[in-house]
Structure 1
Amino acid sequence: MSPEAANPGPARAWTEVTDPELIVANLHRNYTGVSTTIGALLPRQDVRHRLWLVGRSLPDGPSAHSLAAALAISRRPPAGRPFRIWHVRRNVELQVAWLARDLLRLPIRIVFTSVALHVHSFWPRFLIARADAVIATSKRAASLRPNVAGIVPHGVDTEYFRPPTDRGQEWAQAQLPGRYGIGIFGRVRRGKGTDLFVEAMLRLLPHHPDFTAVIVGPCKIRDRPFQANLVKRIAAANLSARIRFLGEIEWAEVAAWYRRLSIVVAAARYEPFGVTILEAMASGATVVATRTGNYEAMIEEGQNGFLAQPGNLDELTASLEEVMTQPERMQSMGVAGRQRATALFRVETEAEGISKVYEKLWQGGGR
C-alpha cells in the first residue's frame, strides 16, 4: 500500500538533533510493513530519546540521515551516554550494524527486533546471536532467539485507527452492494490466504445477500496468474459485483476501509505477527484470523473474533458464518475488539517497552 499520507493532518514539529543517542535504521528501498512500524513508533520515541532516522525517509517523519553520516557521528559516544544504540529490524541493517561495531570498532550497541516464527538459516542466526539485545514481538518468537531482552508486541495507533460514528453510513460511501462489508488486507498471494478468503466468500455470499467482500492490497507480477484464477472463479459463480479486488490504495484510505468493514479477515497460512488485525480491532471491526502470527494473543475466541487453523477452509468458513448470521453480535464483538486493542496493544505501550530495553543496555545490561 502506498505510504503517501501515512499520517494525515498538520505536519509534526520534529526535534532537531545534532548528537543522537539512538539511531533508527530504515535501509530498505521500498516502503514495507517494517516501514509502517517504524513510522508509527518514531513520534512516540522522539519525545523519549534524541534520535536519528537513517536511510529512507518516511511520510511525515523526521529528516532522514545517510548511513555515512550515522557511521561518522558514531565514532564517539553521545553526550550523557556510554554509547549510541542502533535499532535495526532487517537482516541487512543488522549486518551493517555488526560490521560498524566489530570491524570499525565504533562505540555502539545493537538492538534487533525479531518477528519471525521460524528458525533462521545460518547467517541470520549468526548475526542475531551477535546483537546486544533482541526484542521479540511474541512469546513464540522469543523462544526461537538468543539474547532476548524483552517481549514487546507491536502496537496500533488507536487515535488514527478508530471506530466510525455510523458504520452503515461509512459503508454507503463505498457505493457497493449490501449493508455490510467483509474484507481482507495485504498482498494478493497464496501465503496471505487470499484464495481461502475468496473460496469462503463463494460459499457464503449466496446465502448472505447483505454482505459484499473486498480484497485490499497490491498484486505483484509473479502473483497475477494466481489473482486471475480467483477472478475467473468469482465470475463463474456470478459474484463479480460482490467480491471486489480494490488493488493498492493510498494509506489514508486504508483507515477509511477499516471503518467501512464490519468483519476483517486474516487468512494467512503463515504470518510473523499480523498488525492488520490490530488495526481492524482498533477500528471496531469483528475479526476472524488463522492461528499464526500473534493472532491468538489478540483475539479472545467468541469475544472479539474467531480463530481457525491455517489452511483449513472449512473451519474458516464456519467461523465467518457464525459472525455473519448474527449482525447484533457482530457489532458487540467489534466494540470488544476496540476495548482490547486500546487496553493491550497501543503503540505507546510498544514504545515504552522498547525504551526499557534501551535503558537496560545503557545501564550495563545486554549480551
Structure 2
Amino acid sequence: MPDITDIEVIAPHFKRRLSGVTSTIIQLVPRQIAAGVRIATLGPGLPRDLPHMHYRQLAGLWKPLPGGRPRIWHARRNIEMLGGLVLRRLLRMKLKLVFTSASQRHHSGYSRWLISKMDHVVATSAKTGSFLKVPYTVVMHGIDTEKFCPAESAPPRPLRIGCAGRIRHQKGTDLFIDALIALLPRYPDWEGEAIGRITPEHQSFAEELRRKIAAAGLSNRLRLAEETTEIAGWYRSIDLYV
C-alpha cells in the first residue's frame, strides 16, 4: 500500500466487473509509473500487483502535496466523476478532476452535468470528442507492441478475422456478423470470431446473431465468444482485426 504523501494521481475503479476501463487502467498504470508518475489505484477488481490505496487513506487528501499542489483524480466513469466531486465539493479536499471519455455516443443529461464539473476532459479520439459539449484534449489510446504482437509461429489453421468488445448493437457486432455471413462462403480459408461480454439485457440480441449464423450454415466458422482475461493471447491468434 503506497504512502498517501507519495501519491500525485489517483485512478479510481469503482466496478468489480471486467470492462474496457479495467483493461485501460491495468495496461496504463505500470507505464505511467515507469514514466515517473506517482499514481495509485482505488477500488476493487484490479490486479494486486498495481499500487493500490485503501479507502481509509482518503482522509490524507485533506493535506495537499508540497507547495500546496492538488492531487489529480482521474475518472473514467460517471460513478468515479461523482466520487471526485463528493471529495472536492462536499469534503473540501484539494483535487483536480480529470475525465477521460472513450465512448462514441451521446451522453445523458446526468453524464453531461458531471462532465461539465471536471477541470479537464480527455477524449481518446476526435470522433469521441465530437460527442462532448465541453472543451477537450485528444489523447489516443496507445498499444503495447511488445505484448500485443503477432505470434512468432503458429500451427497450420484457418485464417481468423475478429473483433472485440461487448456484444451489443451499439458496438456494431451485428454489422461484423452480417459482413462475415456474406464473405465467408467466398473465402473458405477464413473463419471469424466476435469476443466480448454479453450482458443480460443484450442476451436476446446475441441469440438472434447466433440464429443468423446457424441459418447461414456457418456455426463452425463464425462464433460469438465470451470475454477472456487472456486478451493478448486472443489478439495474437487473429490474422485480421476489425
1:33 Cα offset (Å): 0.6
* Residue number in structure 2 paired with 1:276: none
Q: Report whether the alignment pairs 1:94 with 2:81.
A: yes
Taking structure 1 as reference, are residues 234 and 139 closer, same or farther at Cα in structure 2, changes over 3 Å only?
A: closer
Tell me how many residue pairs correspond in the alignment.
239
Q: Report whether the alignment pairs 1:255 with 2:241.
A: no
Hey, which bits of structure 1, 4+ residues long, moved more than 4 A?
none
What is the rounded CA distance, in whole Å, between the counterparts of 1:186 and 1:171 in structure 2?
Answer: 27
Contact 2:166 2:197 in 1 (8 A): yes
* Residue number in structure 2 paired with 1:56: 44
Matching residue within 106, 116, 119 for 1:129: 116
Taking structure 1 as reference, are residues 255 and 121 closer, same or farther at Cα in structure 2, changes over 3 Å only?
A: closer
TM-score for both structures, normalised by structure 2:
0.87
Counterpart AA for 1:37: T
1:142-191 CA-to-partner distances (Å, cap 9, x unmatched) read 4534253x32111121111012223xx2563xxxxxx3111222222222
Taking structure 1 as reference, are residues 59 and 139 closer, same or farther at Cα in structure 2, changes over 3 Å only?
A: same
Q: Report whether the alignment pairs 1:264 with 2:228.
A: no
Counterpart AA for 1:39: I
Contact 2:100 2:122 in 1 (8 A): yes
Unaligned runs of 5+ in 1: 1-14, 173-178, 266-367
What is the rounded CA distance, in whole Å, between the counterparts of 1:225 and 1:119 in structure 2?
Answer: 24
Contact 1:162 1:259 in 2 (8 A): yes
RMSD of equivalent CA atoms = 2.3
Q: How does 1:114-263 map to 2 (within 5 A)?
A: 114-143=101-130, 144-148=132-136, 150-166=137-153, 169=154, 172=157, 179-249=158-228, 251-252=229-230, 254-263=231-240
Q: How does 1:320-339 map to 2 (within 5 A)?
A: none
Taking structure 1 as reference, are residues 129 and 232 closer, same or farther at Cα in structure 2, changes over 3 Å only?
A: closer
TM-score for both structures, normalised by structure 1:
0.59
Counterpart AA for 1:103: L
* Residue number in structure 2 paired with 1:364: none
Taking structure 1 as reference, are residues 110 and 159 closer, same or farther at Cα in structure 2, changes over 3 Å only?
A: same
Identity %: 37
* Residue number in structure 2 paired with 1:28: 15
Taking structure 1 as reference, are residues 107 and 193 closer, same or farther at Cα in structure 2, changes over 3 Å only?
A: closer
**What is the SS of the residue equivalent to 2:66?**
coil
